[in-house]
Amino acid sequence: MPNPKHKHSKSRRDKRAAHFKLTARSLSLCPRCRTPKLPHRACGNCGYYRDRQVIVPKDEE
């Protein structure tokens, strides 16, 4: 098993983690009620996905 001959500096170590950052989730608007929702998911507000009601929202229960 190979081992490093010299210690890597803290800045060299931290440069590796420079690309591990969070990105904002992309949101799209529901075409029926115009609330933001995740793409390719049913709308949590109205319960519609692709012009069909697939879930019953908690407001209507």
pLDDT at 20: 86
Residue 40 lies in a domain: yes
Residues 10, 14, 8, 2, CA torsion sign: positive
Residue 56 lies in a domain: yes
Q: Is residue 44, in this structure, part of any structural domain at all?
A: yes
Cα-Cα-Cα-Cα dihedral of 4, 6, 11, 13, to 10°? 10
Q: Do the domain assignments include residue 47?
A: yes
Hey, what amino acid is at 13?
A: R
Is residue 50 one of the residues assigned to a domain? Answer: yes
Predicted pLDDT at 61: 62
Domains: count for the chain: 1
User: What pLDDT, on the 0 to 100 scale, is given for residue 18?
Assistant: 84
Query: Residue 14 falls within a domain, yes or no?
Result: no
Q: What is the pLDDT along the chain (61 residues), one digit of tens a residue?
A: 889 899 999 999 889 888 888 999 999 999 999 999 999 999 999 999 999 999 998 776 6
Q: What pLDDT shows up at residue 39?
A: 96
